Structure 1
Amino acid sequence: MSEDTIRLVTIGRIVRRRRRLLTLLVVVGALFGYGTSLLLPPRYTTSASVLLPGAWEERELRTQAEIATSSVVVDRVAAALGEPGVDGVELRERVTAEVADGNIITVSGTADTPERAQHLADLMAREFVTFAAQVLGNDTDPDAAARLEALRQAVVRTDRRIAELADAADPGRTVESVQTRTDLEKLRTALREAVDKLDQADPASDKAVKADMVVMGPAVRPAGEAPPTRTQLVAGGALLFLLVAVVGHLVAARMSRRLRTESEIAAALGSTHLGSVDVPAQRPAHRPAGRGPRALVRRLLGVDVRWDLPAPRRSGDEASRQTRYRRVCARLRDRLPASRLLVVVPEGDGIALLAAERLATEAAGDSSPEASGTGYPTLRVVQIPVSQPMLPDRDEEYGALVVLSAGHWTAGELAGLAEACVDSGHEVVGIVLAGTVRSGPARAGGPTRPAAAAELAPADDATGVPG
C-alpha cells in the first residue's frame, strides 16, 4: 500500500468504514477484560510509615529499606499472621518498602481484603522496628564499654596528678622548674584532647538515638482496590482489541499486493490503458454479490466494502460522465473500426460491471456512422472468475476489452486473466479503469446527444490515455 497508510486520515477511514466491526471488537475486548478481572482476585494495598530519628545518610536509609523487606522480617511477619499456606517466600511478593522524605520508611502491604492489607502493613512496620532495634543494640559490646569507662577514670586521675606535680614544682625560681611546669601543662592538654576525641568516637550515644524508631500510627484501611481494577481491565481490554484491529488493518494494507496505478495494471495485462470512467458511488453495485450466512455476516459487519480505497472524489454532472464513456468508445472505434469486442469483467467487481454495461449501452446507442462509414464497436459483456478464468472461444469478436476497478486485483490474478483471453483466441485490445465518484448537481441544460457526439474527438482527456 502507499504511504498514506500511516496518516491520520487513513486511521479515520478505518474507523469510519469499519465502525461496525470495530464496535464489535471493542465489546469483545471489554468482555475479555471483564473475564480476566473475574480470574484475578481483588487486591488492596495500604502502607505504614516509620520515622527514623537522628541524622541519617541516604545510603543508610536505603539500607534500612532493604532491612524492612529482608527475609528475617518477612518470616517473622508470616509467623505472626498465622495464615495457612502463607510463608515468607509468598509474602515477600506482597510487601514493599521505600524511602520517603524526612527520614521516613514507608512499608506497604497487599492483601485480598482491606482488613488484611491493613493488618499486614502494621505487622511489617512493627517487626521492622523491632529487628532494627536489635541490630543496632547488639553492636554495643558491654566489656568494651566498661574498659572505655575505666580508661576515662584513669585519664582523670592522671590529670589530677599532673596538676599536683605542677603545683609542687618551684614556681619560677629556676629554669628547670619552669621547663617542668611547661611540660606538665602540655601533657595535661594532650590528655584532655585525647579524652574529647574518645568521647566523639563513642558510637553508643548515636546508636541509642538512631535505634529509637517510631511507627507513625496505624496503616490506613484502603477504600478501593489496587490497580488494575475491574474497570481498568475492562477499559484496557476494549482499547487493546481496538488497537490490534486498527494495526491489523494497517499491516494488511501495507502487505497488500493489489495493483492501484494505471501503469501497473496495464503492465500486468500486457495491454494499453484506454481511459477511465466514473460510476456514481450511491449505486447498489458497491457491494459484491454473495449469498449465504458468510455473506450476510460480512454485510452486517460492513467488511464487504473495501476500506483502503480513497474516498470517491466529487464528479461533475451526468453529461461529463457520459462524455468519458463516449471518448473510450471513440478510441475503440479508432483502433478497431466496425468490429465486435468482448468486454471482460472480473467476477465480483461490481463497479467494473456497471461501467462495462454502460459502456456497451453507449456503444450500441451510436447509430450514426462517421464519415468513414464506421461506428462504435459492438460490445458484449461477460463476467469471468479470477480464481479460474475461462472465456468463451472466439466467435465473431475481434478481441477483448478488460474493464476493472483499481485496487482490487493482484498482478498474478490479472496475468491469469490475460492468459485466459489469449487461450480463448481473444487479444486484449485495451483496458478501461472504473472508479466511484460522488454525483454532482445536474447541469441545467446540457448539450444534446448528437451535439455531444459531434464534440467528441480522439484527443486525450485528463483521465484518459496518458500521452
Structure 2
Amino acid sequence: MSDDTIRLVTIGRILRRRWRLLTVLAVVGALVGYGTSLLFPPRYTTSASVLLPGQWEERELLTQAEIATSSVVVDRAAATLRWPGVSGRELQDRVSAKAADGNIIRISGTAETPERAQRLSDQVAQQFVAFAARLAGDSTDPGSAAGPDALRKMVVQTSRRITDLAEAADPGQTVESVQARTELEKLRTALQDAVKKLDEADPATDRATMVVMGPASRPTGEAAPTRTQFIVAGAVLFLLLAVVGHLAAARVSRRLRTAPEIAAALGSALLGTVDVPGEGPGRHTEGRGPRARIRRLLGVDTRWDVPDPQPSGGEAGRRIRYRRVCARLRDRLPGSRRLLVVVPDGDEIARRAAGQLVSEAEDDASPASSGRGYPVLRAVGVSVSRPLVPDRDTESGALVVLSAGSWTAGELAGIAEACADAGHEVVGFVVAGAVRGRPTRSAGRPADEAAPALAGRGHATGGSV
C-alpha cells in the first residue's frame, strides 16, 4: 500500500470493511456539530432594496454600496434603533450591501431575531438614502441650495442690464455703436450658455432622489450556517478524517508484502505459496474481554488493506501446492527429520495453512505413499510481541508460515532470533493467502478438522527475544 496509487477501489474497500467504525465516527461527528451549533446562536438575515434613478456607472454603484455600509450610516442607524449593548461598530459587522442589476443597492442586515433583522435593514436603508441626498445637495441646509439659485438670479439680472445697455447705446449706425451692441449680445449669449451648462452639471436635473423600494421582508428561516448544516458538516468531516486516516496509516505501514522483503527479514528462502479457502480477509485479533468485543463490534479486527480473495482453483489444486512444499522440505532435508511449523499468533490464514501442511505431511507417512520421507511437522504459535519458541528436542529445524502484508520486518526478525535462540535453524518460510470458495469434501479429513491445536506457549522452555 505504501507504493500503490490510491484508487477508488481502495476507498470502496475501506467503506465496505469498516462501515461500522465509519458509522460510529459519523454519529460522533454529528454530535460534535450539534454541540458546536449551541455555541452560535441562530441568526436571521433579510434585505432592503434602494433604487438609484438615472444613469450610473458600475464604479459609481460600487461607491454607493460602500457608502451604505460606512460607519456614518451605520452609526446613525444604531442611534435610531437604540438597542441596548449594541454599538455602531457591532452593527457594521452585521450589515452588508451590494450593487444589483437595474441600479439597485441591496442592503442586508443580520440579527438574532427576524424582527430585529427587518428593522436593521430598513433603518440602514433609510439612513443611507438620507445621507446620499445630503451629499448630492438635496438637504435642508439653506447654504447648500442657495448657491445655484442665487447664481441664476444674478444671470437673469445681468441679462436685463445688458438689454438696457443695448437700448441706451447710440442708435446710430456708427461703427462704435454697432460694436458695442455686438459685444453686449455676445456677453448675453455667454451667460445663457453658462446657465445651461450649470443646469446640465447639476445632478438633481438627471438623477432624482434615491427611493427605498418598500420595507424588508421578515425572514422565515435561519441564516447559514444553520444547526442542520453544523450537524451534517460534523458528520462529513469525521467521515473524511477517518478515511484519510486509514489511507495515511496504510501509506506509512511497514508490513512486508513481497517475498524478497520477508526473506531478508527471516534470513531464509521462500519454499512456496499456499491457498486457504475463506470468504473474507483474515482476522488478526483473537481474544476475550471488553476491548476484544468492542473491536469485533466495530469491525476493526478485520484487515481492510488486504486485497479481496481470488477465486479458488479447487481443492485438488490447493493440495498440490501443499505437497510441493512438503517435497521441497524433503529435498532440502534428505534425512527424515522433525520440524517445527512456527505461526505468528493472530494470523488466522497462516494458522489454517499450517494445519493443512501438517495434515499433508501426516497423510504421506503411510508405506504405500509415493512421497515417503516427508519431515514430521508440529505446529506451534509464537507471539510477535515476545516471541518464544520451544527448545530443540526432537525437532531440529523450523518452518515459518505467515500471510503477506501482516507483519513488519522487526517482528519477523524477532521470530527468527527466537528460533535461533531455541537452537532451531529456519529452513524456509511459506506464504499463505486466502481464496474464495469453500473446500469440497474428499476422501481424506477436511482441512479444518486436520489442523492440530497449536502448541501452548506455556510449555516452551526456549529463550525469548
TM range (shorter): 0.7 to 0.9
Partner of 2:350: 352
How far has the Cα of 1:61 moved from its partner? 1.7
Change beyond 3 A, Cα 1:372–1:350? closer
1:300 maps to 2:303 = no
Change beyond 3 A, Cα 1:259–1:180? farther
Change beyond 3 A, Cα 1:260–1:228? same
1:262 maps to 2:259 = yes
Partner of 1:173: none
Question: Which stretch of the first structure deviates more once superposed, 147-156 or 224-233?
Answer: 147-156
Q: What one-letter code is carried by the residue in structure 1 that aligns with 2:320?
A: T
1:200 maps to 2:194 = no
Any conservation in 2 of the 1:5–1:254 contact (CA below 8 Å)?
no
Any conservation in 1 of the 2:279–2:309 contact (CA below 8 Å)?
no
Unaligned runs of 5+ in 2: 445-465
**Does the residue aligned with 2:364 lie in a helix, a strand or coil?**
coil
**Does the residue aligned with 2:98 lie in a helix, a strand or coil?**
strand
Change beyond 3 A, Cα 1:166–1:358? farther
Partner of 2:231: 234
Partner of 2:389: 391
Change beyond 3 A, Cα 1:282–1:145? closer
Tell me the alpha carbon deviations over residues 338-371 of structure 1, each in whole angstroms, 9 at most, x when there is no partner: 2211111111111111111110111111025799
Partner of 1:109: 109
Tell me the alpha carbon deviations over residues 84-108 of structure 1, each in whole angstroms, 9 at most, x when there is no partner: 1111121111111111111111111
How far has the Cα of 1:284 moved from its partner? 11
Whole-Å separation in 2 of the counterparts to 1:418 and 1:184: 126
Whole-Å separation in 1 of the counterparts to 2:366 and 2:346: 34
Q: How does 1:359-370 map to 2 (within 5 A)?
A: 359-368=357-366
Any conservation in 1 of the 2:47–2:217 contact (CA below 8 Å)?
yes
Any conservation in 1 of the 2:416–2:426 contact (CA below 8 Å)?
yes
How far has the Cα of 1:310 moved from its partner? 0.5
Question: Which stretch of the first structure deviates more once superposed, 13-22 or 70-79?
Answer: 70-79
Whole-Å separation in 2 of the counterparts to 1:13 and 1:186: 98
**Does the residue aligned with 2:66 lie in a helix, a strand or coil?**
helix
**Does the residue aligned with 2:76 lie in a helix, a strand or coil?**
helix
Any conservation in 2 of the 1:402–1:431 contact (CA below 8 Å)?
yes
Q: TM-score, normalised by structure 2?
A: 0.87
How far has the Cα of 1:147 moved from its partner? 5.6
Whole-Å separation in 2 of the counterparts to 1:295 and 1:404: 22
Any conservation in 2 of the 1:50–1:214 contact (CA below 8 Å)?
yes
Partner of 1:272: 269
Change beyond 3 A, Cα 1:166–1:417? farther
Q: What one-letter code is carried by the residue in structure 2 that aligns with 1:72?
A: V
Whole-Å separation in 2 of the counterparts to 1:372 and 1:301: 49
Whole-Å separation in 1 of the counterparts to 2:284 and 2:268: 28
Whole-Å separation in 1 of the counterparts to 2:15 and 2:281: 22
How far has the Cα of 1:283 moved from its partner? 8.6
Partner of 2:7: 7
Partner of 2:373: 375
Partner of 1:465: none
Q: What one-letter code is carried by the residue in structure 2 that aligns with 1:109?
A: G
Question: Which stretch of the first structure deviates more once superposed, 200-209 or 59-68?
Answer: 200-209
Runs of 4+ deviating beyond 6 Å: 369-373
Any conservation in 1 of the 2:275–2:432 contact (CA below 8 Å)?
yes
Percent identity, aligned pairs only, is 63
1:325 maps to 2:322 = yes
Partner of 1:425: 423
Q: How does 1:146-161 map to 2 (within 5 A)?
A: 148-149=151-152, 151-153=154-156, 155-157=158-160, 159-160=162-163
Any conservation in 2 of the 1:49–1:215 contact (CA below 8 Å)?
yes
Change beyond 3 A, Cα 1:227–1:253? same
Partner of 1:70: 70
How far has the Cα of 1:373 moved from its partner? 9.2
Change beyond 3 A, Cα 1:128–1:379? same
How far has the Cα of 1:149 moved from its partner? 2.9
Any conservation in 2 of the 1:5–1:253 contact (CA below 8 Å)?
no
Q: What one-letter code is carried by the residue in structure 2 that aligns with 1:358?
A: Q
Any conservation in 1 of the 2:33–2:234 contact (CA below 8 Å)?
yes
Match of residue 217, structure 2, among 192, 217, 220:
220
Partner of 2:458: none
Q: What one-letter code is carried by the residue in structure 1 that aligns with 2:49?
A: S
Whole-Å separation in 2 of the counterparts to 1:412 and 1:327: 29
Match of residue 289, structure 1, among 264, 272, 286:
286
CA RMSD of aligned residues (A): 2.8
Change beyond 3 A, Cα 1:284–1:169? closer
Whole-Å separation in 1 of the counterparts to 2:170 and 2:203: 39
Tell me the alpha carbon deviations over residues 379-426 of structure 1, each in whole angstroms, 9 at most, x when there is no partner: 111111111112122222221111001111111111122122222221
Match of residue 145, structure 1, among 144, 148, 173:
148
1:343 maps to 2:358 = no
Tell me the alpha carbon deviations over residues 257-299 of structure 1, each in whole angstroms, 9 at most, x when there is no partner: 1111111111111111111111111499745311110000000
How many pairs are equivalent? 440
How far has the Cα of 1:240 moved from its partner? 1.1
**Does the residue aligned with 2:275 lie in a helix, a strand or coil?**
strand
Whole-Å separation in 2 of the counterparts to 1:180 and 1:317: 131
Partner of 2:452: none
Match of residue 168, structure 1, among 158, 165, 171:
171
Question: Which stretch of the first structure deviates more once superposed, 150-159 or 338-347?
Answer: 150-159
Change beyond 3 A, Cα 1:4–1:187? farther
Q: What one-letter code is carried by the residue in structure 2 that aligns with 1:21?
A: L
How far has the Cα of 1:144 moved from its partner? 3.9
Whole-Å separation in 1 of the counterparts to 2:285 and 2:325: 25
Q: What one-letter code is carried by the residue in structure 1 that aligns with 2:148?
A: A
Whole-Å separation in 1 of the counterparts to 2:256 and 2:52: 73
Any conservation in 2 of the 1:285–1:354 contact (CA below 8 Å)?
no
**Does the residue aligned with 1:418 lie in a helix, a strand or coil?**
helix
Q: What one-letter code is carried by the residue in structure 1 that aligns with 2:326?
A: C
Question: Which stretch of the first structure deviates more once superposed, 197-206 or 240-249?
Answer: 197-206
Question: Which stretch of the first structure deviates more once superposed, 43-52 or 131-140?
Answer: 131-140
1:38 maps to 2:38 = yes
Q: TM-score, normalised by structure 1?
A: 0.86
Change beyond 3 A, Cα 1:83–1:214? same
Partner of 1:132: 132
Question: Which stretch of the first structure deviates more once superposed, 135-144 or 224-233?
Answer: 135-144
Any conservation in 2 of the 1:162–1:188 contact (CA below 8 Å)?
no
Whole-Å separation in 2 of the counterparts to 1:398 and 1:283: 36
Q: What one-letter code is carried by the residue in structure 2 that aligns with 1:240?
A: L
Unaligned runs of 5+ in 1: 171-175, 450-467
Change beyond 3 A, Cα 1:403–1:428? same
